[in-house]
Structure 1
Amino acid sequence: MNYRMTKLKLSDFKIETEKTGKIIETENGEKALEIVHIKNEKGTSVPKLIYTWSNYPKIRSALNSKLNAMKIELQKSIEEIDTNLTEEERKELIKSKKKEFNNNLRNAFENCKEKNHNSYKVIVRDTELIRIIRALNLKNNDTEENGYTYIKDLICVSVSVPMYKQIEKDGVIKVNHVRFKRILASSGNVRNKKVIFINEKLYDSAMTILLCGLPKDMEHEQVSKYNAYIGLVNSDTIPVSTPRMIVIDDFTTKIPETFDVVIKDKNKKFSVIPDQEKEFKLMPFDGAGIVDLEVAKIWSKELNDILRKETNRNKVNYIPSSFQFRAIIGVKGNLYTFDLKKYALSLDEDKRYIKDVWGKEHKILDDKDNLLIDAILTKSQFKFKKKYDSFDKWQTEFDKEVELKDLDNNDIKYKRTFNIAKWGNKKNKDKALLSYQPIQSLELTQEQIEILCKPTVEIIKNISTDVDEFLKYRGLLEETYDENGELVLKETDMDRVPKYYEALKKNKNLFYDSYIQKKVQKDINRFKENAMKGMVFVDGNFQTMSPDIIAFMEYATGQSVKGVVPKNNIYSNYWRNKEYISYEKNEAGEEVKKIEKVTAVDIIRFPHVSNEHIFATVMQNEIEEFQYIQDGIIMSIYDTSLERLGNGDEDGDRILTIPNVGAENKIIVDNAKEQQTNTIYFINEYEKDKKEKEEKLIAEGKMERPKPIKINQIDELIKCDANGMEASIGKVVNKISILWSLPKTKERDNYIKIMSVIGSLTIDYVKTGVLEPIPKEIEEFLENKKEVDGKEFKDSYKKPIFLKVKYKKLERDEKRINKNHKLFDDNITEELFSDTDCTMNRLYHHIESELNKINLDKPKGDFDFTTLIKDKANVRNETYPKVKEKLIELKKEHDDLTQENSIDIENYSYDSDKKVEQYDRFKYFYRYCKNELASINKETQKKDKLIDYLVYAFYCDKDFALKNEAKDLLWNVFGAELNTRINNKSYNDKEFDVIELEDKRKELLIEKKEKAKNNAKKIKIEGIDTLEDKDKKKIEFHKQNTFKNIDEMGLSKQANKVLKVLIMLDLLFNQYNKKLLIGQSSKKTITRATISKFTGINGIKIDEYLKELISKELIELTTKSDKITLECNINVSVSNTGNAVKLRDSESILKQLKK
């Protein structure tokens, strides 16, 4: 089930003095609200401050803008009253009109309020926290909004760290006069700088449920871990039957291996010692447990039943390989499907026992060989083990119904649930996209790069010209072999595939629609850009990193732990059964079928920082106990693969595997094998020394042992949140990319290994609370200090050139800066990226070169839109104008929403929820649009009629379609219905004449071309042309003598025009106290394109004529601090005699140039 909740930005809050609500008399005898006082750190009583937020000022502002228009309309209607009416009739009519005005005003207020509230709401999935809130206060959290339930008592707040730190100790904020209190910030929330607040009245009851019998003032040794684990209740989950569980101790083993040891010494200095033989303590089942096959079947049915109600599709009609679960409090991990009963029966009777982590023995089977245990968890999955004396104590608390009171003092009960967050795939894809991280860590030759990129380049060529190939790329079609071994395309069901692409699958003619063409082109361009930054296709997929469950069960049942997966091997049902079929000609020229099996893979986990490729052999023998792990890469307990893969664990982490079959795949796998490095082993001598010194001081009585923080100390929880928010893995990854782009040296390689450790510590900071800054020596190395003529300067290493695709603004800035250098002929070229000879830079250049050879021909023709029409719409009735009016209103809302969701990639702090949130905002908006359109009148409630009106509006109505070319509101609101029409062949036999509609469409297309031409010439200067006519300033310009003076200067015809334009613009800008700036954005400056439109000169040649004016000292151009914007000073006197004209905007300037 999906819900909506309010999401706010802390930066939009005001800081106010908190009041008690009680009226008191001041010393002056005046009445005022009593101020709340608290004691500060010094013990002084001070006024308590509180962050407050209200949307009522914005609602009033929106209403006022409508109110003025409504008042004018009322006054106009009163003035138009028939003068022949009697005074009594006139008064009655005015009274009626005022009553109608008041009704409209109320509706306008409700409309403004609803739109404003909607702008702050986001869709959220079902979580146990939401289920708790609804149990505690259902009447406040049960409002239906276009098919979503609004959760009023929870608020998500995006915070800026400095502001968040200032929240008072009680963690309370005020939203529309309601007090909300910080309740949690999970690891994901902290990474994305978000905090969840709850209606303060519900806080205590919610915490009673969340703490599962633990005290509300419980002490915790590591607050960051407490925050992370209690925050699990906010995971998207589906409740299922609670299994009969036990928790066993974690299995640890020691593995001898060769490591590259990274040491942080007592002075905080990092160093690397390569090739060190060490014994490594491994916990191979970290985050993993098992669930019995029969319970897995029950869960799959329960999940499928719930999802089928929501989606009308069978989403889990199979037995998943594993289930990622969550339960209160801090119970989490992955359970892998296993036939526990069959395994138990294979054991001797005296071995059919399992000892839990508290030392208690449990029988697996009863006397009738029925299972007594459904799931086996490990201590690593039970995060609050230390806080419970036994598993029974937790189970008793977890299972019992919590009895509480709601806000109306009614008795309520809440039963905690066992929840599933994710589950294994039914089928895995056969192809995956790499990224630059694993590629940059390999040294590839130019030939190898070309082989690796060849399939991707071919795909781009094919999707650019072939509709079927494009649909295959979009995931709507897949390659498969029929019973005769022929390659065929098969349709696939994909979530979140746009409806217009689904329609394109059925009706290829839709490819000619300009709207669809733009969508296709956008997708192709994105694909091209992604390819240039290393997102190239390889065979392979992401599967769950899984434990050797035979070794797991050997440990759980007290046997000698041997397992079945050897060192440097993996077991995978997918790769064991995968066959690559190709056809080769024999000596007789006959085609012979060739079948290749996968014998080895490269394993990759993201983020991939150092060279963490793992070459692993694929076991070929079938192991019966692993038959249910169809979506999983089963790891060995005899190597350090988990550690090498970024301290990976088996709680649901997904890893990419690439096979050693296929030319492009072998490039990765073979080089991963040849260039494989040692696992990195981190020794933190600094922390060890620090702890030893602290213990010594405590023993000597010179230092008090730090007191554990109590979980009800909200200020400490907030401090912990804020610290976690300051960690940035992005900064670490960027530095590593720069290091990989530099020439290979021992120093560089050591720094990459150190940065690998820094990356792991940064990722874990949310849980550990220990932030490791990038070492100073690495920062200095990247600064690349040089000495020239006895002076030291920094020539910092830049981002590698392939990242141009990622940092588009920086790329644009580089071009613009160098364009100005060329204008000034100063022989300077600035490089904001580094084009060093590294694997990724060479890959970037190769793909760029190959893509430049691809000719993207836009299909000619038009889409036969009549296939979307069921019946001819009567557009002359009273309904169609109302539909069009509502469409215009919704289009404006859509444009506003698009603007709100646009991202400046350079100034955007990565938020992994952002994309989903944006998708969900539009998803809700389109549902809202459908309801709004359907509620216009009785006729629009008939869906077929409404859709016919909409198709006519977008394809035939010149008044509407020319201003609203994008058909998002048509395809995203009624996409499913349009698909039905396209698929229904009976719609092709129209009962009406389509010629009239086709003629209207032709007229529209002709006007569309004309409009495009006019728009290309249109000039709009922000702050001048955008003003109302009454607000524009007029200036007197003595054109005749000024132009005559310019004509006598001996300039080229084009430079003459440019100078005249600049002089008039300068005069106009001076009237508004603005400097004449030539930049790249039309918001604050004019651009070279602006000058081009005024003069009719090709924009590419504008700089040539600016140079001419500079050389004759008629203008002076100086660069601003951004090195992009040019300030233009005119060195030509403007005449104050002769015939004068009025200048007020761009149009008036154009008139003077045409005369």
Structure 2
Amino acid sequence: MNKQVHVFSVDTSAFYNEEEMKIHRRQKRNYKFRSTLKEIKNKKSNDELLLNKVNCYIKYTNRRIKKSKELLYTLFRSNKTIRSLRPSEVDSNNLKNIVSVFDSTLTRVLQIKENSLFRDIIIVQTYFFDVLEDIIVNGFLYNNEKYVCFTASAGQIRTKKTVFIKESVFHRYQCTLMCGLTIDRINELGGVNINKYLAYLALCNSATEQWLDFDINKSIVVDDMTTTLKTTVDFISDKTYKIERKTMDVPIEHTDGCGMILPRKSKKAMMIRLPWVKGLLVPFPFDKFLREKNKQQGYSKYGIIKDIYGKEHDVLKEEIEVIFTKSQFKMWKYYNSWSEYIDKYLIHNCQAGKCNEEDATIGNAKLNYQMLQTLTDITDQELEIISSETIQDIHNIGTDKNTMLKTLGVTSYNRNKNNFQKALEVYPELLNDTYSKETIKQVKKSLIKHAKAGKIDVNGKYTFISPDLYAFCEYLFLGIDQPKGLLKNTEVFCDLFENAIDLDCLRSPHLYREHAVRKNTKNKEMKRWFVTKSLYTSIHDPISKILMFDNDGDKALVCCDKTLVNAAKRNMQGIYPLYYEMAKAGAELINSKSIFNGLNAAYTGGNIGIISNDITKIWNSDNIDLNVIKILCMENNFTIDYAKTLYKPERPEQIKKIILNHTKTKAPKFFMYAKDKDENKVEVSNKSVMNRLSNLVPNPRISFRNAGLGKFNYNLLLSDPTRPVLIDDNVIDTYTKLDKNKKFMFSNDGATKSNDDLFHYSLIRESIFSSSKKNKKEIVDILIEYLYNNKKSNFKTTLWSSFGDIIVENLLRNLNKMGTCKRCGIDYAITKQRQIYCDDCFRIVRKEKERDKKRNQRSKNCPRET
């Protein structure tokens, strides 16, 4: 998951013709001028004469902007030619338009080399829908090649981004990406919901690593387990907005998005991606389940089941390793059988990918403001107890070495440490450097801001949610329509926590009161079957309706903090799940026009952030109305589904007035920290939970005097600490220039910036290496000597981000923590005692030993021929 490739991301202005571009440049000047005028207005607010002139100029500029926009729209609508992408937008020197994407099935199928810059895929962000319509309906031209709309994932839809692909490339790899399906075939069978189709096609664009040991011939697809649960709910009519508390039969699809894999194939729960297939696979020994049940019967009664197409399978005889569910196979109705899908998968060299594999070590998590603000009767004393660990870290950040390392991300559960963190892990004395201290100051500032915004450490962990798969096996193999399972109502199993304690189970987004307090129940029988760190839930429990989760990879925050649990129990008294009937998505024929209409609906379908913020206003007000919150939660979920269903309920007039009375206020005071709101745009502080928490968080002065960090020796970062380093002014000048100008290199797109940093720092690295005839180690030594000794710089982000791997290698060697792999002969970092292999070879050797052990075991168990 650390592999990346680089593509271009442009906006719709990249496709303007010359006339449109002239108006666009004029618009940019007008916007810049208006921004300058507003700054003058804010600074000179006491000069009445000047203010009058500025206001006149602002009005004049607004008129010019409006007129230019109208002219631009006229030109858009009069365009009759296929648009072209301006070459300057995808020039390799146009660094702001380059973004990084993780390795995926798409990048592997298209054979894109790691860290290469690729132009066969181009991402387009929408500002003007007329231009988007042009390039979706007609495609666009670049370098004499036509590009067509490919897809847009759920995440890209939120940011109005669309992925385009070179048409010739798409035709070449279409069968592999779509597992033999064609648009004509889908249309012959009645079409599909367009946005669902685009989302399913986008699965190949998910960040994954290839699942190499997956054997599709040892997999089947079965029906989901759905049962009806009689439970009390608050039923909301999407027509009248009437809320009615009643006891009713609620259908629950327990395996929605979840399948099973044998533990010998994977000991960890993981999310998977295949063409048209997505979801969570949870290890469960269903072969052992069948053998035990057959042994109890005295003969092989169980194990023959039907797949979703009605074909019978003998699970044990066919050595089935993976059982997918119908909810995971998104385009099942467009194949005649699972065998047809398998044949097409193999013929077209399709790929399986896995992502978000269960962590070996799961660190403690943080709460967020949504989860805290609903505990409206929580006391100041309880808030102090819940926030005590975070407040202690704020006090200790300058004096305690372990706290410093933790806040800088040097923890056992951080599996993706950057090079600076790796260096701190093996050489904590590096904390005594000015750069580390400056970083800690910035982290402390961020820690305080986040704490005031509700991000506080809690005794809890994020983990996958899984249904009771024992119950699923009873349903699937034993034919029991209402299985018993291993977990009773209000029970969960989570091996991360002690037995028989109450757990507060939470999930984001948390809008209504959604604290599901459940008893953690663990016994010998459960431990035999529930083999992962997931949160297993009972099929007799409406918990999925309380937390509104699917089992396709959703994670729960599971907390065992007694203070939090007790507060949650109090606040959940009289609270029942919300229930409303969601709209069904319709099918239509796939063509370029329907694709545009679908994306246009998705991009303009509503902003769930506004609804979420309105709910927060109510929770933090002096007049909390739970019924208004319930209604807004319903609207939020209809808005989320709008892209698929094209349906949103319409507020009755009287409801509209009630909601407006509760939401016309400014944002709550703590939004200054949670959302960077200006003080004049928030309400005055009241006694809400979050405002009280914000007042509890201290801001002590930081001091490193009593930290006892040990003496830092920068020479250990050099390739040879005993050899003097001669400064090369050319290297220093190049570094200084690139360091100052790096802000102009990075993408304006904040959503992708963290990924893009790696690419842009690699450009800085190569530029500096090519600026001198010295070898790489000498160049890095010069920079270390200059920044750590000559200049004693407080800012070394560019050094560590560009050359951190070399510095860490130097450090490990100088600390005698480098070894040579016994198997491949490559140098590696020693991280364990008596280590003789690098990490890659260690995994290979371990698998070889496991195979040999199993082979020897089978040999012992097999009777010898006589």
- With the shorter chain as reference, the TM-score category is 0.7 to 0.9
Which residue does the alignment assign to 2:779?
946
Which residue does the alignment assign to 1:612?
514
Pair 1:387–1:450, CA change in 2 (3 A): same
Contact 1:499–1:976 at 8 Å: present in 2 too? yes
Distance in 2 (CA, whole Å) between partners of 1:893 and 1:224 is 41
Does 1:895 pair with 2:743?
yes
Distance in 2 (CA, whole Å) between partners of 1:351 and 1:16 is 71
Does 1:441 pair with 2:374?
yes
Give 1:733 shift. 0.8
Which residue does the alignment assign to 1:233?
204
Does 1:392 pair with 2:314?
no
Give 1:150 shift. 3.1
Q: Which of residues 168, 171, 176 in structure 2 aligns to 1:209?
A: 176
Residues 980-1014 of structure 1: CA distance to partner in whole angstroms, max 9, x if unpaired?
54556679xxxxxxxxxxxxxxxxxxxxxxxxxxx
Distance in 1 (CA, whole Å) between partners of 2:437 and 2:651 is 46
Pair 1:461–1:671, CA change in 2 (3 A): farther
Which residue does the alignment assign to 2:459?
539
Which residue does the alignment assign to 2:544?
642
| Paired residue secondary structure (2:93) | helix
Give 1:17 shift. 10
Does 1:802 pair with 2:673?
no
Pair 1:497–1:131, CA change in 2 (3 A): closer
| Paired residue secondary structure (1:719) | helix
Distance in 2 (CA, whole Å) between partners of 1:428 and 1:643 is 26
Which residue does the alignment assign to 2:603?
725
Give 1:598 shift. 5.1
Aligned-partner residue type, residue 93 of structure 2: K
Which residue does the alignment assign to 1:167?
134
Distance in 2 (CA, whole Å) between partners of 1:205 and 1:524 is 52
Distance in 1 (CA, whole Å) between partners of 2:749 and 2:325 is 44
Structure 1 or 2, whichever has the larger Rg, is 1
Which residue does the alignment assign to 1:481?
none
Contact 2:361–2:413 at 8 Å: present in 1 too? no
Does 1:845 pair with 2:695?
yes
Aligned-partner residue type, residue 629 of structure 1: V
| Paired residue secondary structure (1:574) | coil
Pair 1:389–1:553, CA change in 2 (3 A): same
Contact 2:671–2:682 at 8 Å: present in 1 too? no
Greater shift after overlay, 253-262 or 551-560?
Answer: 551-560
Give 1:882 shift. 2.1
Which residue does the alignment assign to 2:24?
none
Instruction: Output the TM-score relative to the length of structure 2.
Output: 0.79
Give 1:504 shift. 3.9
Q: Which of residues 647, 669, 682 in structure 1 aligns to 2:580?
A: 682
Give 1:512 shift. 4.0
Does 1:566 pair with 2:488?
yes
Structure ranking higher on relative contact order (CA contacts 8 Å, 6+ apart): 2
Contact 1:613–1:676 at 8 Å: present in 2 too? no
Give 1:120 shift. 2.5
Which residue does the alignment assign to 1:52?
84
Q: CA RMSD in A?
A: 3.1
Aligned-partner residue type, residue 291 of structure 1: I
Contact 2:492–2:518 at 8 Å: present in 1 too? yes
Aligned-partner residue type, residue 353 of structure 1: I
Give 1:629 shift. 3.1
Aligned-partner residue type, residue 128 of structure 1: T
Q: Which of residues 752, 760, 765 in structure 1 aligns to 2:642?
A: 765
Give 1:676 shift. 5.9
Contact 2:504–2:565 at 8 Å: present in 1 too? no
Pair 1:874–1:356, CA change in 2 (3 A): closer
Give 1:281 shift. 0.9
Does 1:631 pair with 2:477?
no
| Paired residue secondary structure (2:301) | helix
Distance in 2 (CA, whole Å) between partners of 1:883 and 1:399 is 53
Give 1:875 shift. 3.7
Contact 2:419–2:804 at 8 Å: present in 1 too? yes
Greater shift after overlay, 859-868 or 454-463?
Answer: 859-868
Aligned-partner residue type, residue 5 of structure 1: V
Does 1:972 pair with 2:850?
no
Residues 554-594 of structure 1: CA distance to partner in whole angstroms, max 9, x if unpaired?
1111432221110111011222xx4xxxxxxxxxxxxxxxx
Which residue does the alignment assign to 1:656?
557
Pair 1:206–1:553, CA change in 2 (3 A): same
Pair 1:982–1:215, CA change in 2 (3 A): closer
Distance in 2 (CA, whole Å) between partners of 1:804 and 1:334 is 38
Q: Which of residues 274, 281, 285 in structure 1 aligns to 2:251?
A: 281
Which residue does the alignment assign to 1:832?
682
Q: Which of residues 717, 733, 752 in structure 1 aligns to 2:629?
A: 752
Instruction: Output the TM-score relative to the length of structure 1.
Output: 0.60
Which residue does the alignment assign to 1:409?
none
Q: Which of residues 617, 632, 635 in structure 2 aligns to 1:738?
A: 617
| Paired residue secondary structure (1:612) | coil
Pair 1:833–1:161, CA change in 2 (3 A): farther
Which residue does the alignment assign to 2:285?
339
Distance in 2 (CA, whole Å) between partners of 1:608 and 1:270 is 21
**Structure 2 alignment gaps of length 5 or more:** 21-76, 295-299, 817-866
Contact 2:668–2:682 at 8 Å: present in 1 too? no
**Structure 1 alignment gaps of length 5 or more:** 19-44, 60-112, 135-140, 297-318, 402-414, 478-491, 579-596, 692-705, 786-794, 815-830, 904-913, 988-1155
Does 1:528 pair with 2:448?
yes
Residues 1052-1090 of structure 1: CA distance to partner in whole angstroms, max 9, x if unpaired?
xxxxxxxxxxxxxxxxxxxxxxxxxxxxxxxxxxxxxxx
Contact 2:4–2:101 at 8 Å: present in 1 too? yes
Structure ranking higher in strand proportion: 1
Contact 1:10–1:158 at 8 Å: present in 2 too? yes
| Paired residue secondary structure (1:295) | coil
State how 1:343-422 maps to structure 2 within 5 Å: 343-348=289-294, 349-366=300-317, 371-401=318-348, 415-422=349-356
| Paired residue secondary structure (2:458) | strand
Q: Work out the percentage of aligned pairs sharing the same amino acid.
A: 24
Contact 1:331–1:381 at 8 Å: present in 2 too? yes
Distance in 1 (CA, whole Å) between partners of 2:476 and 2:379 is 49
Q: Which of residues 101, 104, 125 in structure 2 aligns to 1:127?
A: 104
Distance in 2 (CA, whole Å) between partners of 1:9 and 1:504 is 40
Give 1:776 shift. 5.9
Which residue does the alignment assign to 1:257?
231
Contact 2:441–2:702 at 8 Å: present in 1 too? no
Pair 1:857–1:391, CA change in 2 (3 A): same
Distance in 1 (CA, whole Å) between partners of 2:749 and 2:159 is 18
Contact 1:427–1:631 at 8 Å: present in 2 too? no
Which residue does the alignment assign to 2:392?
458
Residues 829-873 of structure 1: CA distance to partner in whole angstroms, max 9, x if unpaired?
xx63243332212222222xxx04x23236599965444442555
Which residue does the alignment assign to 1:922?
757
Give 1:168 shift. 4.9
Give 1:744 shift. 4.5
Distance in 1 (CA, whole Å) between partners of 2:784 and 2:182 is 62
Give 1:210 shift. 3.5
Pair 1:422–1:242, CA change in 2 (3 A): farther
| Paired residue secondary structure (2:687) | coil
Distance in 1 (CA, whole Å) between partners of 2:369 and 2:334 is 44
Give 1:736 shift. 0.5
Pair 1:472–1:776, CA change in 2 (3 A): farther
Residues 407-428 of structure 1: CA distance to partner in whole angstroms, max 9, x if unpaired?
xxxxxxxx11222233222222
